[in-house]
Chain A
Amino acid sequence: MMDRKKRSRLMQQFIFVGPTSLFFFVIVLIPFFLGLYYSFTSWNGISQHTSWAGLRNYLHIFTKDPSFLNSFWFTAKFTLFGLVLTNLLGFALAYVLTRKLFTRNVLRTVFFVPHVIGGLLLGFIWQFIFVRGFASLGAATGWSFFNLPWLGTESTAFWAVVIVFVWQNAGYLMVIYISAINNVPKGLLEASKVDGAGRLQTLRHVMIPLVMPAVTVCLFLSISWSFKVFDLNLALTKGGPFKATESVALNIYNEAYTISRFGMGSAKAIIFFIIVAVISMLQVRATKKREVEL
C-alpha cells in the first residue's frame, strides 16, 4: 500500500516536472557547461579534436583583444545612457498619462507600439530614417541636427543606437510605471497635498518611494535589454563605423561565426555571463533596499 502511494507520487513528479526539466537541461544547462569547457580550449567549431588551452583564451581577451574591450566599453556606455533615458522618459510619460488627459489612451498606445516590433526590423526602419529621412528633414528645416552623418561617424552612430533604443523601450517601461502609479493610494497623495507639500515634493517624498518596486523591475529590464543589445546594432549599423557600435553580444557572435574561433567565443560568452549576472544581482540588491512596504 505504502509502496504504491510512493510510486504514484514519483510518477506524478516525473510527469509534471520531467518534460520541462528535460528541455531546460538540453537547451540551457548542458550548452552552458559545454561552453564553459570550450572556453578552455582552442576549438574552431569544425575539427574533431580540440586542444586544451587552459586560461590562454581568457588571458588573450584581456591583454590582446582591443576589439572585445572596445565592445565592452561601448556596451557599458550604451547601458548607462540607455537605462537612464528610457527610465526617465518612461516614468515622465507614466506620470503625465495617469492624469486626466483627453487623449491619454491614444497616447499610451502610440508610445507603446514601437516595442512590439522586433529590434531587427526597427533597426532597418531607422537605417532609412537616418540615411534618407533625416536628409529630407534637414533640407526642409535647415536644422544642422538632421544634417549630421548619423550612421557615419563614431560618436553620432552611438547616439543613433541610443535614440532608437529609447524610442523602442520607453513605452514598455511607461506601462509598468503607470500600473505602479495607479496602485499608489489616492489618500496618501491627498494627505501630502493637505500637509502643504508641492507637486514636486509629493513626487519625491511620496510617489517615488511608493513606486520603488516598479523602479527595481524597470531598471532590471532596461539593464538586461541594453546589456544584451544585438538585433538593433546588427540591423542599424552592423556594429560600425569601425566597430564603434559593436556590442559585446555582437562581438561574441562575430568571433564565433565570422572568424570561427569557437573556443575564444565561448570564453567571451562566459565573461559576458559573469558580468551580466553580477550587475543584475548588484542592481536588484541596491534597489530592493530602497523599496518601502505599505
Chain B
Amino acid sequence: METTAKKWNMPMLLVELVCILLAIVFLVPFYFLLVNSIKSYGDILSDSAALPAALQWSNYREAWNATNFPHAFVNSLVVTVVSNLLLAFLCSMCAYKMVRNNILYNRVLYVALVAAMVIPFQAIMIPLVQVVSGLGFMDSTAGLILAYLGFGAPMTVFLFHGFVKSVPIDLEEASKVDGTSPYGTFFRIVLPLMQPIIVTVIILNTLWIWNDYLMPSLILQDPALRTIPIAVYTFFGQYTKQWDLALPGLVLGITPVVIFFLAMQKYIIEGIAQGSVKG
C-alpha cells in the first residue's frame, strides 16, 4: 500500500494516457467493422468513418442466410469440441505412460514428437490429403477430426509430458499398494492432478482449431460440412467489395470466439502463461 501516494504522480498518469490512446488505436478496426456492418452500401462508400445514418439490419439477415451461419457454427463447435476432448484424453494417457515407462520406443517417440513440432503444415499437406482420402475419410467431419488428432498430438503430448514429470510418483505407488489397477491409478489419481495443464492444452488447441482454415479447406468439400472460416471465406469470395454483406458476415464469424474469450479470459490468460513456461 505504500504506493498509493505514488499512484497519482504525473508521469504515471501520462503513461496511462498513452496506453489508453494506443488501446483506442487497437480498437479502431472493430469500430469500422461494426459501424459499417449495419450501413447501406452507399453510406459505406461515402464515409466509412461516420456513424450509420440509418440502421440497415437486413444486412445481417442476408449474411446469416447466405453463410448458413447456424450450420457453420455447429460444425465448428463439433469439430473443435470432439478434437479437443480426444486430444486431451488420448495424449494425457500417452504422455503419462511415456514418462513412467522409460523404454526405448517411448524415448524415440518423444524425440519424434518434439521434432515434429517444427514441421510446417504445408510440408505435409499434399500427402496428408492423399492418406486421408486413401483411408476413405475425405469430405467428412471424422476425417477432419482425425487430422487434428494427428497434427495436434506433438504439442499436446509435449505439454502433458512436461507436466507429468513434475507429478510425484509416491501417490501412484501408494495406490498400487492399495491394489488399484494401473488404469484406475491413472484415471483416479493422476488425471485429476493434471487438471491445470488440461485447461491450458484445451485453450491452446481451441484457439488454433477453431480458427483453422487450411485443413478443413483441403479435407471438406460438401457445403453442409463447412466450418466458420470456410463459410466466411466462400461468402467473402462471392461478395467481394459487397461490403454491406461481407462485413456482417465477418461480424458473425468473429462473435463466437470473442464471446468465448471474454467469458474464459481468466483461464485463457493463465493457460497461455502456463503453456509458455513449458516451452
Interface positions of A (Cβ within 8 A of B)? 8-9, 12-13, 15-17, 19-21, 23-32, 34-35, 38, 45, 93, 96-97, 99-103, 106-121, 124-126, 128-129, 132-133, 135-137, 139-140, 167, 172, 175-176, 178-179, 213-214, 216-218, 220-221, 224, 227-228, 230-231, 234-235, 248-249, 252-253, 256, 262, 265-266, 269-270, 272-273, 276-277, 280
Q: 16 A-B pairs, CB-CB below 8 angstroms?
A: A17-B93, A19-B93, A20-B91, A20-B157, A31-B128, A31-B131, A102-B7, A119-B211, A120-B229, A121-B211, A179-B277, A228-B121, A235-B233, A272-B123, A277-B118, A280-B118
Q: Tell me the smallest distance from the CB of B93 to a CB of chain A, in Å.
A: 5
Q: A248 vs B16: C-alpha distance in the bound complex, in angstroms?
A: 40
Taking A117-B257, A128-B246 as known contacts, 10 extra A-B pairs with beta carbons closer than 8 A to each other, sorted by chain A number, are A19-B93, A24-B150, A27-B124, A27-B147, A31-B125, A31-B126, A116-B261, A221-B276, A252-B122, A276-B118
Verify B128–A38 contact, CB threshold 8 A.
Answer: no
Supposing A99-B15, A120-B229, A132-B48 touch, asked if A35 and B33 sit within 8 A by C-beta, the answer is: no
Given A29-B112, A107-B23, A128-B33: A38 and B120 within 8 A (CB)? no
B118 adjacent to A23 (CB under 8 Å):
no
Chain A residues within an 8 Å CB radius of B126: 31, 35, 38, 45, 256, 262, 265-266, 269
Please report the C-alpha to C-alpha distance between residue A253 and residue B108 in the assembled complex, in whole angstroms: 31
Q: A26 contacts which of B131, B254, B265 (Cβ < 8 Å)?
A: B131
Q: Compute how far the CA of A110 lies from the CA of B233 in the bound complex, rounded to whole angstroms.
A: 26
Q: Which of B112, B118, B126 counts the most chain A CB atoms within 10 A?
A: B126
**Residues on A with beta carbons closer than 8 Å to the beta carbon of B105:** 13, 17
Chain B residues, Cβ within 8 Å of A125? 29, 33, 250, 254
Complex Cα spacing A252 to B94, Å = 33
Most central of B98, B120, B213 by chain A CB within 10 Å: B120
Looking at the assembled complex, report how far the CB atom of B142 sits from the nearest CB atom of chain A, in whole angstroms: 12
Q: Which residue of A lies closest to B233 (CB)?
A: A120
The answer to whether A21 touches B94 (Cβ under 8 A) is yes
Determine if B12 is an interface residue (Cβ-Cβ < 8 Å).
Answer: yes
- Main secondary structure, interface of B, reads helix
Neighbouring A residues of B120 by C-beta, 8 Å:
227-228, 249, 269, 272-273, 276
Which of A26, A31, A140, A227 is B49 in contact with, Cβ under 8 Å? A140
If A19-B90, A20-B94, A269-B122 touch, whether A96 touches B29 (CB-CB below 8 Å) is no
| Contact A179 B273, beta carbon cutoff 8 Å | yes
Contact of B150 among A28, A129, A270 (CB under 8 A): A28
Which chain B residues lie closer than 8 Å to A13 at the CB level? 97, 101, 103, 105-106
9 closest residue pairs by CB, A with B: A27-B150, A118-B211, A179-B273, A16-B97, A34-B127, A20-B94, A31-B127, A136-B49, A269-B123
Q: Does A217 lie within 8 Å of B16, measured CB to CB? A: no
Taken together as a complex, chains A and B put the C-alpha atoms of A8 and B229 apart, in Å, by: 45
* B218 CB, nearest partner CB in chain A, Å: 8
Interface pair A129/B122, CB less than 8 Å apart? no
Residues of A within 8 A of B103 (CB): 13
Whether B213 contacts A118 by the Cβ 8 Å rule is yes
Known contacts A117-B254, A217-B279; A136/B47 CB under 8 A: yes
Interface string of B7-51 (1 = CB under 8 A from A): 100001001100110010011110011001000000011011110
B118 pairs with A224, CB closer than 8 A: yes
C-alpha spacing A266/B127, complex, angstroms: 9
In the complex, what distance in Å separates the CA atom of A15 from the CA atom of B262?
38
Residue on B with the closest CB to A252?
B122
Q: Which of B91-143 contact A (CB under 8 A)?
A: 91, 93-94, 96-98, 101, 103, 105-106, 109, 112-113, 115-116, 118-128, 130-132, 135
Shortest distance between the CB of A77 and any CB in chain B (Å): 18
Q: Are B269 and A272 in contact (CB under 8 A)?
A: no
